[in-house]
Chains A and B, each alone.
Chain A
Amino acid sequence: MAGRANPWTTGLFAALILLFTGGPVLLSLLGSLIPDRVLLDQGSSLFAEGLNFDGYRYVFTGELPRAYQAENANRAMISDAARQVPASLINSGIIALSAMVLNILLGAPAAFLFARYLFPGKKLSFLFLILSPLVPAVALVTPIYIMLQSMGLLGTRTGIILVHTARALPFTVLILSVFFRKMPAELFEAATLDHCSRFQAFWRIALPLALPSIGATGLFAFMLSYSEYMFAMVLSGDAGARPVSVVMAALARNTDVSWSLLNTAIFIAIVPTLVLVVLVWRFVVEGLLSGSVKG
């Protein structure tokens, strides 16, 4: 079904998708390069004062943007939280990558069994897994806080990793088992004929074939952790373990922070993550579209 369509409609659809998904972010990039007084002045052209990188310089070096040093400018429009963004990105990276790896390691074997085997307790354990995410996170914040406190994990990345892993696992298992079930049964029948053990069937046949799907699922676990806010806020405590979602929310809620500085912070936070996600996604798409799951 690849590309026999009219190039004009293809172009139109592509443009619409780009506009919808990328538009708001493009605005943010523009906002980070244009001083507030130009942005908020409806009369003047957006580019009246040109573009400048002062916001970026401030975040990385601490040098105050020119706009805030001018006479009568409000010094309160600058916030230290913007300077926490790079460090919080590292925190987020560690937390989300750990949650992703743990999700695949812990979830893939279970998903494989749910997809391919019958065993006593299957229905019950599956039901438990898919019902557990029904409880809204807001209701669990207090008891989980108390629990992690007693384990001495408050204010650590480990605590947040543990919670994020557990929150994503039910979905990881569910999604992966859909992929495992889609694999052609003959493959595994051949494996049983060859006296492959269950582990060998999983490790040698299922895993390599499912690699792109595992990549897509891993991406899901990564993003769920990366953008999670409530647990991250309550469990991270002071600045030390704060991931980017918490720092960004602090910035976004601080009405004193200028638009351009906020947009700068947004952009600095987006770029490394986007690069990482796109790289993984490329690998996933290429694996998928080259048809490695042909069977």
Chain B
Amino acid sequence: MWEIRRFPVLWLLPALLPVALMTLYPVAYALWTSLHSVMLLFPGEPFVGLDNYARVIQSNYFQDALANSLAFTAAAAPLVVVLGTLMALFLRRRFFGVQVVRSIVLLPWVLPGAISAVLWIWVFHPSFGVLNGLLRNLHLIEGSIGWLTSPRLAFVSVVVAHVWTQIPFTVVLVMAALAAINPETLEAAAIDCKSSWRRFWYVIFPEIKAMIVVLIVYNALTAFTSYDLVYAMTGGGPGTATTLLSFQIWRESFSMYDFGAGSAVAFIVVLISAVLILAITRALPSDLFGSE
């Protein structure tokens, strides 16, 4: 680490400025809205303090959505990072056709959320779906399983689809982090450690830990604020089984036209996300967020 005495404006401003432009005013606007009663149907925007927050927290919809979003995040984020890391480790090997596999892994990435949703409906659809068709042909089931119509299965299905969409990004970055490891470290490890698990845990993992933490944070955030894939697959149902918080913001704002309540939900999401990030970085200390 070298020291610079002045704030390096020329180096940092190009990155900070666009982010500030798209954050400061919009966030201030949303914060203002969350403290006022902003409803399309009622003129005037009186200050109401924390009323919006209190009202939102007490609603059943919100509590369901919060529980769903937390469960969704807890299931999806670790799954993405673990599966992605395993795939990345595997794809570093050389074998016949590895180039093809490395390319196909990126496929889920090139599909917009709405389209991924369509593909997964196609897989999970109770009557036309491929999964039920397959199980039927193998004589494992009679009739059909309601992958998207039973609350619990619908939740599992949307988690699977979400994990699918997020895997490529994790694979790409873990592979990149793996490749940045000094080859000599790996050679020494190959000699010293007999079991590949110990080799991973004691040699490889410490080297890619910072990247893994970034990926867990990123995936937790993505899962916690995602909505388009899940909404397109199930519409939040059956009942409220797959209603997520972001969808709740959207519903309060653009379908109930209660923008104050929508923004209040948004800031509760911000608060929880901040706590999540803090918890993740505390649980997995790395030199990432400090200055060493």
Residues of A within 8 A of B (CB): 1-3, 5, 7, 10, 13-14, 17-18, 20-25, 27-28, 31, 39-40, 42, 102, 105-107, 109-113, 116-123, 125-126, 128-140, 142-144, 146-147, 162-163, 165-167, 169-171, 173-175, 178-179, 181-182, 184, 192, 212-213, 216, 219-220, 223, 226-227, 229-230, 244-245, 248-249, 252-253, 262, 266, 269-270, 273-274, 277-278, 281-282, 284-285, 288-289, 291, 293-295
Contact of B266 among A109, A118, A139, A244 (CB under 8 A): A139
* Chain A residues whose C-beta falls within 8 Å of the C-beta of B12 in the assembled complex: 109-110, 113, 125
Chain B nearest CB, measured from A75 CB (Å): 22
Interface size of B by CB at 8 A reads 106
Contact of B18 among A111, A166, A288 (CB under 8 A): A166
Contact of B249 among A110, A139, A169, A173 (CB under 8 A): A139
The answer to whether B122 has its CB under 8 Å from any CB of chain A is yes
Q: How far is the CA of A186 from the CA of B258 in the complex (A)?
A: 58
Residues of B within 8 A of A (CB): 1-8, 10-12, 14-16, 18-23, 25-27, 29-30, 87, 90-95, 97-99, 101-120, 122-123, 128, 130, 133, 164, 167-169, 172-173, 175-177, 179-180, 182-183, 186, 190, 196, 199, 207, 210-211, 214, 218, 221, 225, 227-228, 232, 245-246, 249-250, 253, 259, 262-263, 266-267, 269-270, 273-274, 277, 287-289, 291
Sample of 12 A–B contacts (CB below 8 Å): A24-B116, A109-B10, A110-B11, A120-B7, A126-B289, A138-B249, A138-B250, A142-B259, A163-B22, A182-B210, A227-B112, A269-B112
B119 contacts A27, C-beta separation under 8 Å:
yes
Q: Which of B123, B164, B176, B288 has the most CB of A within 10 A?
A: B176
* With contact pairs A1-B92, A248-B112 given, residues A169 and B26 touching in the complex (Cβ less than 8 Å): no
Contact of A252 among B115, B164, B225, B277 (CB under 8 A): B115
Q: Is the interface of A mostly helix, strand, loop or mixed?
A: helix
* With contact pairs A24-B123, A119-B6 given, residues A274 and B107 touching in the complex (Cβ less than 8 Å): yes
* Chain B residues whose C-beta falls within 8 Å of the C-beta of A174 in the assembled complex: 214, 288
Q: Which of A42, A107, A213, A281 has the most CB of B within 10 A?
A: A281
Chain A nearest CB, measured from B74 CB (Å): 18
Chain A nearest CB, measured from B181 CB (Å): 8
B7 contacts A119, C-beta separation under 8 Å:
yes
Chain B nearest CB, measured from A199 CB (Å): 9
* Chain A residues whose C-beta falls within 8 Å of the C-beta of B10 in the assembled complex: 109
Chain A nearest CB, measured from B178 CB (Å): 8
Q: Which of A110, A192, A213 has the most CB of B within 10 A?
A: A110
Contact of B130 among A21, A27, A266 (CB under 8 A): A27
Q: Which of B27, B107, B123, B183 has the most CB of A within 10 A?
A: B107
Contact of A143 among B25, B227, B245, B287 (CB under 8 A): B25
B176 contacts A138, C-beta separation under 8 Å:
no
Q: How far is the CA of A18 from the CA of B246 in the complex (A)?
A: 32
A105 contacts B14, C-beta separation under 8 Å:
yes
Q: Which of B23, B87, B102 has the most CB of A within 10 A?
A: B23
B114 contacts A274, C-beta separation under 8 Å:
no
When C-beta atoms are compared, the residue in chain A nearest to B97 turns out to be: A14
B102 contacts A129, C-beta separation under 8 Å:
no
In the A-B complex, list the 5 residue pairs whose CB atoms are closest, starting with the nearest: A139-B266, A288-B179, A249-B114, A166-B22, A245-B112
When C-beta atoms are compared, the residue in chain A nearest to B209 turns out to be: A178
A139 contacts B2, C-beta separation under 8 Å:
no
* Chain A residues whose C-beta falls within 8 Å of the C-beta of B16 in the assembled complex: 110, 125, 128-129
* Chain A residues whose C-beta falls within 8 Å of the C-beta of B199 in the assembled complex: 1
